[in-house]
């Protein structure tokens, strides 16, 4: 069997058969047909090869890597890995414009020279054998080559036709967490100028619930500390995360913390992951019972008085309501619901309470649930009770997924907000109107109506529901008719059988990506798909934000290969064709057709005040990359050199103009430091008082603050009250008055484009966003106090009545079913037909939808087959042998997948685990021939999302990927 994770048996025979000098041989692996023979049979070879043959040599850039040549100049360039959010520095050696060698980036304080399998293989991306080489169009099931001009012309014309007939909201703009910050911001701006809020990206399906959950608790939706800071932790609690596979380089810091501090390293997960293999304590829970385990831990903490009472008094609102809910979660009830013995829960509670500071780390095991936001809030509250937020070694260390998912979220690739979380209300549009120097009325005119301009768009988890919906089922003038998709896999969203129906019905699909993606290889769709070859971040430059909010500038390593272009250029070409390039690029230099990323970042610096993304000028970011060696490897603070005093990558908030040299904030809400040193309190975001109780901090304030208590966010009114308005310069005052337009008092730190209000607050040692309490009770959410709710397809129908899903509701322009579906499933004894729980997750070798990594021979060789992990006892009972083919059936849409069985104790009995990186096979059939010629990934497999089911978080419409039911049968 070719699945490597058996037990170290070297699969020599099969691999060697596949070896034919080049990885063309990989085509052999699944079908036994040679790649050449396959092409002949599919009739694709002739067109494809002829097309390449006809190209003038200069049009196609193909890099030939070989040895480093002795007498040719070797240039070293610095960029950042394009896979996960750790942000590893990549050192590229370039000769004759070809990336010939990859060296360790020793100086980077984050990865310190190291990589995982993906990072160590990124050079292959610019060799790009399987990349999309020129623009393509699908005509009656055949891929035809186009010129760039023709492609943009045709796409633009069809988009304008759709706009004319059905309005701007009929187009769905799907962006990417693989954009640079500048690309993400520009794409959001593109959607705004097009006139829709239907613009989203991968954050929806990875950490949207984290962002909503923690932002609603203490102000900002981001990791509070950093990977490096985990070395200061005295205990580590990892819940619903497998960083050993998803963020391997972070383990460097975690294992150092574990070893240096002899820290308890506790993993709570339904699956004994590779991270759990290094834990001091592993807790196996039933999938979907994270809130019961969090409240179970808190039960012991409250029972024994281990909470930080003074911290709660000064900095937390509403903990008493939490106590009331936690009281229900006695050890007996926790064991009944989660399956974890009471003694183990107590041991873990004591370990994290007595070894402080302790950190909590989570990932998709927490977020991708129908209760994702509530899960996030429960863990946040656990950390608040222990007083672990805003301290070194503590924190909520939330590992984001893609390389720039934090940045793409920050800069507004989101259906609910403009860049920097300004929201969609009139004030937000007016603010960005000023930043972009366009009239508010012009922007309003671009939209279908003012209501649509201020209404949340359709999220990426449900776009196909919005295609298939009848006009009366959807809260916008027309169902979706077109999708423009930049850098996003097609197999990462649940309910694929229905997604395929949606794809079939779309009249236009545009894919801008280095690889064709799953969207291109769907045999039901035969016309109206365009593919635009887009280069990777190694072929352009721009900044990206790691999970810890550090921004790193990546330098172009090589020119875009083949005919590919970078995101900025493609967006400019589209905007020009769609007729708003002049307005959109008013203050951004465009060189020929390429907008200059430095200029885009400067515009972002001018406007993104609300997260403190203003001090990270391109010049400062480049200086940080150049002087990486000056930064401390644990505090991430430069001790010498031109960046002395700065935190690496100026993690936001980095207040004010770059010239005031705010160092960035390595740890959020840290009152032990002064604000100009990166300190702060919780954000005053939810008002000043509720039900007669103050929401402002009580006697807690950042070091050196002139106000030694809580205070609201800074506005002109607040400045006047304090008498600090006199500190504003006349120039700043002039801007404030211009922004206020007669209502000067309402101008806040977020809208004052002079940044004078921020400057004055800092001068007095205050945080511009105020100094408040964190909210244990978030009254604006559907569940103000997190409560356990069984998954929709629960394996415990007996618990459904006691812990029901939320009521059916409407949001995001669509209907959301929940309780009705759950009760129906429980009453019809679905579990009888689908007796096992299906959960999904990551592998170290692949990333996201996997097209990019499965096309990389160095990675593809390591994982050659899609598989399902199934417990030894279940396998025995079902007569399934390790490595044999099985069918996994899901309860909706006759979903099924044919995969290999991996028999292991890694999963508990009754649980099946499948990785989500595979696609290109569908219900037993190969879709290899549906890819454009020479772009099919080396390894194909069945997508797990062919089996996953309905279920969405009420706050963000995050999809449920971690708990559904399934049935396994030998194939």
Partner 1 sequence: MARMKFLCDAERCIECNACVTACKNEHEVPWGINRRRVVTLDDGVPGERSISMACMHCNDPPCAAVCPVDCFIQTADGVVLHSKDLCIGCGYCFYACPFGAPQYPQTTNFGSRGKMDKCTFCAGGPEADGSVEEYQKYGSNRLAEGKLPLCAEMCSTRALMAGDGEVLADIYQERSARRGYGSGAAGWSVAYGQHDRGSPFAPGGPSTGGA
Contact positions toward partner 1, by CB under 8 A?
Answer: 5-8, 10, 12-13, 15-19, 21-23, 25-26, 65-70, 101-104, 113-121, 123-124, 244-245, 248-249, 251-252, 255, 258-260, 262, 272, 274-275, 277-278, 282, 844-845, 857-859, 861-862, 869, 904-906
Alpha carbon 294 to its chain centroid, in Å, reads 24
DSSP letter (8 states) at residue 57: G
8 Å CB contact between 630 and 107: no
8 Å CB contact between 531 and 511: yes
Task: Compute the residue count for the chain.
Answer: 971
Residue 174: Cβ within 10 Å count: 25
Q: Which two tokens stand for residue 902?
A: 């991996």
Q: Which has the closest alpha carbon to 847: 81, 4, 24? A: 81
DSSP string, 491-558: SSSS-HHHHHHHHHH-SEEEEEESS-HHHH--TT--SSEEEEEB--GGGS-EEEE-TTS-EEEEPP-S
Residue 99, helix vs strand vs coil: strand
Q: Between vectors from CA 497 to CA 492 and to CA 501, what angle results, nearest 5°? A: 105
Q: How many angstroms separate the Cα of 839 from the Cα of each of 263, 275, 278, 665, 947?
A: 29, 17, 22, 36, 10
Q: Which is nearer to partner 1, 114 or 617 (CB)?
A: 114
Phi and psi (nearest 5°) for 324? Answer: -65, -40
Q: Which has the closest alpha carbon to 535: 511, 506, 559, 554? A: 559
**DSSP H/E element including 89:** strand 89-95
Q: Which is nearer to partner 1, 121 or 518 (CB)?
A: 121
8 Å CB contact between 124 and 81: no
Q: Which has the closest alpha carbon to 150: 164, 139, 160, 136? A: 136
Residue 815: Cβ within 10 Å count: 15
Q: Which is nearer to partner 1, 66 or 723 (CB)?
A: 66
Q: Where are the beta strands (DSSP E) in 711-856?
A: 774-775, 809-811, 814-816, 836-841
Q: Which has the closest alpha carbon to 756: 738, 783, 776, 777? A: 738
Q: Which has the closest alpha carbon to 202: 59, 448, 470, 409? A: 409
Q: How many angstroms separate the Cα of 143 from the Cα of each of 280, 516, 562, 930?
A: 54, 11, 17, 9
DSSP string, 745-769: GG-BTTT-TT-HHHHHHHHTT--TT
Calculate the CA dihedral of residues 588, 593, 597, 602 and round it to 10 degrees. Answer: 0
Q: Where are the beta strands (DSSP E) in 396-441?
A: 396-398
DSSP letter (8 states) at residue 458: -
How far, in Å, CA of 818 to CA of 791, rounded?
9
Alpha helices in 638-749 (DSSP H): 716-722, 730-740
* The residue to which tokens 């970011």 are assigned: 621
Sequence-separated (6 or more) residues with CB below 8 Å from residue 592:
none
Q: Which has the closest alpha carbon to 678: 698, 708, 657, 648? A: 648
How far, in Å, CA of 317 to CA of 320, rounded?
9
Smallest separation, CB 131 to partner 1 (Å): 17
Q: How many angstroms separate the Cα of 193 from the Cα of each of 149, 416, 432, 813, 922?
A: 22, 16, 11, 21, 38
Residue 928, helix vs strand vs coil: helix
Q: Which two tokens stand for residue 952?
A: 């969405």
């Amino acid at each position: 069997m070719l699945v490597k994770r058996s037990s170290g048996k070297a699969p020599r025979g099969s691999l060697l058969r596949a070896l034919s000098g080049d990885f063309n041989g990989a085509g052999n692996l699944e079908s036994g047909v040679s790649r050449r023979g396959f092409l002949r049979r599919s009739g694709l070879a002739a067109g494809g090869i002829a097309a390449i043959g006809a190209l003038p040599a200069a049009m196609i850039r193909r890099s030939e890597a070989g040895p480093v040549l002795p007498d040719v100049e070797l240039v070293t360039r610095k960029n950042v890995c394009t896979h996960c959010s750790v942000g590893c520095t990549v050192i590229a050696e370039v000769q004759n414009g070809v990336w010939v060698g990859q060296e360790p980036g020793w100086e980077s304080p984050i990865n310190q020279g190291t990589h995982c399998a993906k990072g160590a293989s990124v050079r292959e991306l610019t060799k790009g054998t399987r990349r999309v080489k020129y623009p393509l169009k699908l005509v009656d099931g055949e891929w035809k080559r186009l010129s760039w001009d023709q492609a943009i012309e045709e796409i633009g014309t069809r988009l304008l036709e759709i706009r004319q007939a059905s309005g701007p909201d009929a187009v769905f703009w799907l962006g990417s967490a693989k954009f640079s910050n500048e690309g993400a911001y520009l794409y959001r701006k593109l959607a705004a100028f097009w006139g829709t809020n239907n613009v989203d990206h991968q954050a929806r399906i990875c950490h949207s619930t984290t962002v909503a959950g923690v932002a609603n608790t203490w102000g900002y939706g981001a990791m509070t500390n950093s990977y490096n800071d985990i070395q200061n932790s005295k205990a580590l609690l990892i819940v619903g995360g497998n960083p050993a596979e998803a963020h391997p380089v972070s383990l460097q810091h975690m294992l150092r913390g574990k070893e240096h501090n002899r820290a308890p390293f506790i993993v709570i997960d339904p699956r004994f992951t590779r991270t759990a293999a290094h834990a001091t304590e592993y807790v196996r829970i039933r999938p979907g019972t994270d809130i019961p385990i969090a409240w179970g831990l808190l039960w012991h903490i409250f029972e024994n008085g281990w909470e930080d009472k003074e911290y709660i008094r000064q900095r937390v609102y509403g903990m008493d309501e939490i106590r009331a809910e936690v009281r229900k979660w006695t050890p007996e009830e926790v064991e009944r619901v989660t399956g974890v013995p009471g003694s183990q829960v107590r041991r873990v509670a004591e370990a994290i309470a007595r070894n402080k500071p302790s950190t909590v780390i989570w990932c998709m095991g927490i977020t991708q649930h129908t209760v994702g936001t509530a899960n996030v809030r429960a863990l946040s509250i656990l950390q608040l009770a222990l007083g672990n937020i805003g301290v070194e070694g503590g924190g909520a260390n939330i590992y984001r997924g893609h390389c720039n998912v934090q940045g793409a979220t920050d800069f507004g690739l989101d259906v609910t907000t403009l860049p920097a979380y300004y929201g969609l209300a009139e004030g937000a549009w007016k603010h960005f109107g000023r930043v972009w120097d366009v009239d508010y009325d012009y922007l309003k005119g671009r939209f279908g109506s003012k209501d649509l301009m201020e209404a949340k768009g359709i999220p990426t988890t449900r776009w196909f529901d919005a295609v298939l919906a009848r006009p009366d089922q959807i809260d916008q003038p027309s169902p979706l008719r077109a999708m423009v998709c930049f850098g996003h896999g097609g197999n990462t969203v649940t309910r694929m059988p229905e997604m395929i129906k949606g794809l079939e019905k779309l009249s236009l699909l545009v894919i801008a990506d280095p690889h064709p993606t799953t969207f291109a290889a769907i045999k039901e769709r035969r016309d109206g798909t365009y593919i635009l070859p887009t280069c990777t971040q190694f072929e352009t430059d721009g900044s990206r934000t790691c999970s810890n909010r550090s921004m790193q500038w990546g330098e172009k390593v090589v020119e875009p290969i083949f005919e590919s272009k970078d995101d900025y250029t493609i967006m400019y070409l589209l905007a020009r064709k769609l007729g708003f390039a002049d307005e959109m690029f008013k203050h951004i230099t465009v060189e020929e057709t390429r907008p200059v990323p430095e200029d885009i970042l400067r515009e972002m610096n001018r406007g993104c005040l609300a997260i403190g993304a203003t001090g990270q000028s391109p010049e400062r970011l480049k200086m940080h990359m150049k002087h990486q060696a000056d930064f401390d490897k644990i505090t991430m603070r430069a001790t010498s050199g031109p960046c002395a005093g700065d935190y690496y990558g100026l993690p936001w908030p980095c207040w004010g103009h770059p010239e005031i040299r705010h160092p960035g904030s390595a740890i959020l809400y840290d009152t032990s430091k002064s604000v100009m040193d990166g300190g702060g309190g919780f954000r005053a975001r939810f008002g000043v008082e509720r039900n007669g109780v103050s929401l402002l901090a009580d006697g807690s304030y950042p070091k050196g603050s002139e106000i030694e208590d809580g205070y609201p966010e800074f506005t002109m009114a607040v400045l006047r009250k304090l008498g600090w308005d006199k500190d504003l310069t006349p120039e700043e005052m002039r801007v404030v008055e211009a922004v206020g337009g007669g209502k000067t008092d309402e101008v806040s730190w977020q809208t004052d484009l002079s940044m004078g209000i921020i400057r004055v607050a800092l001068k007095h040692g205050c945080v511009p966003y105020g100094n408040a309490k964190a909210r244990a009770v978030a009254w604006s959410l559907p569940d103000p106090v997190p409560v356990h709710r069984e998954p929709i397809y629960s394996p415990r129908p007996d618990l459904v009545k006691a812990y029901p899903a939320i009521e059916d509701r409407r949001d995001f322009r669509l209907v959301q079913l929940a309780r009705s579906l759950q009760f129906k499933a429980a009453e019809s004894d679905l579990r009888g037909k689908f007796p096992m729980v299906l959960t999904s997750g990551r592998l170290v070798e692949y990333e996201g939808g996997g097209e990019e990594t499965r096309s990389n021979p160095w990675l593809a060789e390591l994982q050659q087959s899609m598989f399902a992990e199934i417990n030894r006892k279940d396998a025995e009972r079902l007569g399934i042998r390790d490595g044999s083919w099985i069918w996994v059936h899901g309860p909706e849409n006759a979903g099924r997948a044919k995969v290999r069985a991996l028999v292991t104790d890694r999963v508990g009995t009754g649980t099946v685990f499948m990785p989500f990186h595979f696609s290109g096979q569908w219900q037993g059939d190969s879709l290899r021939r549906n890819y454009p010629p020479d772009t099919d990934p080396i390894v194909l497999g069945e997508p797990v999302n062919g089996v996953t089911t309905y279920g969405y978080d009420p706050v963000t419409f995050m999809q449920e990927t971690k708990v559904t039911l399934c049935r396994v049968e030998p194939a």
